[in-house]
Each structure stands twice: as structure tokens, then as C-alpha cells.
Structure 1
Amino acid sequence: MPFFQNTTATILKYTPSDDYNEYGEKTGTYEETETIPIDFQPLSPQETLKTYGEILQDTYKIYIDIDVDLQSTDRLLIENKMYTILGTPMKMNHLLKPSHIKVNIQLLRDVSLE
């Protein structure tokens, strides 16, 4: 792996259900699937401005192994804090074949497992 593992993350896969909440939105559940090593780094204000057109708070980037199955609907649990994925996980191909996946994430302020 071409990144520096400095912590781990637990992937929570989203499973939609047939039920709806009081706002008419489809509901679903998150289920823990696996724990993976990650390279966890802050996302600078310049990077968020360039990527999203505005400065976002509590945003980070992580680098994970190319073989990890991570979808944009999944959530990540890192050090007892819940994060959502911004955009789509990007396969980075600095060499001839993709070597790792870069994922931009944002802290969910209303969800904490402390």
C-alpha cells in the first residue's frame, strides 16, 4: 500500500428498507462490515474551495487500499466519531494501474458514539 496507515476505520454499509419516515423519505439501516487501515488527513480550506466551490468545515481525506469495497452511501466510524462520504471514492492511478482510493469525508455533528 502506498500510503501511511495512521488509524483504522470501520465501514458501515447502508441497507435500504421498504419503510418511509414521517417526511416521506425511504429509511434504511447501517451495518458494520469490516475494519480497515486508513491514512487520515485534514482537508485544507483551499482543497475544499477548489473541489466543492465553498469552504466546508470538519472535512478530511483518507487513503485506503485499492481492494476495499466502499460506496458513496456508506459511513465510516473513526475513533468513535461518524463520518459521511463526500462525492464518490476516487481510484488514484499515479502509476500505470490504480494504486489506492482517495475518499473525502465529513464529520457528522449529530452522531457521536462516545
Structure 2
Amino acid sequence: MTDAPQQTTLAQISYADFEKVEIRVGRITRAEAYPEARKPAYKLWLDFGPEIGEKRSSAQITKHYTPEALVGRQVLAMVNFPARQIGKMISEVLVLGVPDATGEVVLIGPGHDVPLGGKLF
């Protein structure tokens, strides 16, 4: 007899709570190394279209991506978190990803090119 894996009880939120979360599509227009960060990271500039405009972010995504490969890529980011000081820069959005088998970040983005600023639903 084997023990069944324990399932985590997840906190539930209402649909109204979910509607407050602004996860939008942006295109990375510029990426560069961020040597001043405590952990290896890149500085990113993202275009979210005319409604939101350009925002900056710091992302610890150096394992799977180079700055050159990031430019032009569409990604999902949470755009309504408060800005946060990361080293010497202000990070305005949280670029979203999931961990690979070793815990390194893999970015989340649409499978097809979509209009900038589109909201996740």
C-alpha cells in the first residue's frame, strides 16, 4: 500500500476578486543584463499598447533566455501591482512565468501574436 500524495488546500477567491487582477499582454522591446541585481536578472522594457504604454521590469530569467532572444517576444505580466524598487531600478510590472523541473523561470505568453494590452480572462 502506498501513501497517496497530499493535496494542498487552495484559498478560494470570488470572480470579482479575479476581475481586479490586470494580467495583460506586452511585447518586450528592449532587454539588457542587470549586473547590479542581487541574483542574475535582466532589465526589460515592455510595450502594452496605447492604453497602458511602455513599462519596465526586472526579471530573473537568465537561465533560459538571452536579451537578444527576448526582444519581440510577447509575454503576460501583471500590470496593477505597485511599482517596486529592484536594485537601482523601479520595476513597474510583474512578468509572469512558471518553474521548470529545476525551478528556473519559463515565461508565459500567448501561443499566437495577439493585440498588445489584451487582458487575460
Please classify the TM superposition score into its range, dividing by the shorter chain length. under 0.3
| Greater strand fraction, Structure 1 or Structure 2 | 1
Normalising by structure 2, we get a TM-score of 0.26
- Greater radius of gyration (CA): 2
